[in-house]
Amino acid sequence: MGPSAQPNRRTTDHRGSPETSPRKRWHVLTDRELAIVIWGSFLVVVLLASLPASAKMRSSVYDVIRAALSLRLVLAALGCLTWVGVITLALALSGIWTPALIKETVVFGIGTALPLVFNRQLLSGGATVASRVSAILAPATFLELLSGLYSFALSVELALLPLTAVIVLASARATKPRAREIFAVLLGILGIVYLGFSITTFLISADVTDWELLGRTIAYLVLMSAAIIPYAIAFGVWINFTDMVRWLSFKREPGMLPPWKGTVAIIRFFAGKTALLAKTPPNVIMQMARASSISDAVDRARRHWSRQEDLAYADQARNNALLEFSGIEGVDDAGQQLDRREFAATCKALMWLWACMSGQYAKQDRFRGEVLDIAGPYTRHGLDYSHGIKIVVNEDGQRWYAHRRTITGWVFAIGGNGPGNQWTYDGSEEPTMYPAERTPWIAYGETTNWEH
């Protein structure tokens, strides 16, 4: 029997979707990709249907579109896709890429490369090529890749996709530790389901798997992920540099440094220190613009970052002291506790609570205990979600105090007995009375261990 008379055998490709052998695999979407397209199309239709009825929604959508179509973002996107094409061509010439990977190339360019270029960590200058490439080569990346090799049936994917999205969004918005733990467990279970199904399908279909194509796919995705990192970091440097140059021309005044000289000063100082570009505040750039010369502008930037280094050194010294005296009882020559863990965070949180209580009193002429929850979360001040702050308000709402016991056992408290006044306390025991004269409370001042 000649080749044209051979039976049309059905095989299973490495993505788990049955297909006829003469068909190219890149012509077909997997069930997971098809589910993404279906849900994405549904959301687009819902969004478009809601636009005529909501002026606010129309305004938001138009703002997003205008921002996305800005010249430098369009150029960045085109440059990114061009870079993907160049690397793909290089991999094709090296024999790694073949036309069978066209779909993977398109999906990578749109779904991975573009989002990576606009990654917040890369734009903030907080990443290096080595750190990002090492993350790509980490075992977790390969487990994620393996879990995506095979897809469930379309009906299952259509159900799992919104479920996963809801859990991810809920986990990101959860404020209670218990809720975050529950969502983390649910996401872990979903990950195990995806990974377990992929491994099981992989083992079952090992005899019909196109191993060469599977190897090419993995190699292409890993190499492309590593190759896109330099472009993404370079784009972040360019964005931060152009933003900084724009500040040089903001609110021009007579006698200010010409923008081109300011640009030269920026290049001179930040060359080799590009991570500082995104961290330099606009007021420093304005100070550079008001310099008398390029050298003066460079000196102003140098003095700013020298001060930042001194502050960072002081913070490190405080942290070292916290570690050195951790668990040690006693006081220093100034009468302050040696073990000062959580002191600063506790004082900041209590000061914020006092400000909120004072604002509440100004509106309703009384203090209210529910402000404790309204003023949270206290993680912004360095405490856990379970902050441990307790509040006491008397019946007529004219006196109150709140206290917290630190990890060292030392207690801090703050309170008031009228509009605008402030009392502080620290000691080994929790306060048992409202702020008043001739008590351990100190009015309009700070106790011995109070920290800003």
pTM above 0.75, yes or no: no
Orientation angle between helical segments 259-270 and 211-248, nearest 10 degrees: 130
Residue 166 lies in a domain: yes
In the chain, which residues have pLDDT < 70? 1-27, 117, 119-143, 452
Query: Are residue 210 and residue 136 in the same domain, yes or no?
Result: yes
Strands of 304-396 (E only): list them. Answer: 390-393
Query: Are residue 157 and residue 258 in the same domain, yes or no?
Result: no
pLDDT number for residue 18 = 42
Query: Are residue 219 and residue 186 in the same domain, yes or no?
Result: yes
Query: Are residue 428 and residue 349 in the same domain, yes or no?
Result: yes
Domain boundary among 183, 217, 238: 238
Distance CA 409, CA 428 (A): 7
Query: Are residue 161 and residue 275 in the same domain, yes or no?
Result: no
Query: Are residue 400 and residue 263 in the same domain, yes or no?
Result: no
Residue 220 lies in a domain: yes
pLDDT number for residue 227 = 86
Q: What is the DSSP code string of 274-313?
A: GGGTTTS-HHHHHHHHT-SSHHHHHHHHHHHHHHHHHHHH
pLDDT number for residue 130 = 61
User: Are residues 422 and 443 in contact, defined by beta-carbon separation less than 8 angstroms?
Assistant: yes
Residue 336 lies in a domain: no
Domain range holding 367? Answer: 343-443
pLDDT number for residue 401 = 96
pLDDT number for residue 139 = 65
Residue 335 lies in a domain: no
pLDDT number for residue 124 = 60
Count of structural domains, the chain: 3
Written as six digits, the tokens of 341 are: 């863990």
Residue 243 lies in a domain: no
Query: Are residue 14 and residue 47 in the same domain, yes or no?
Result: yes
- My answer on whether omega of the bond before 377 falls inside 30° of 0, hence cis, is yes
pLDDT number for residue 174 = 76
Residue 452 lies in a domain: no
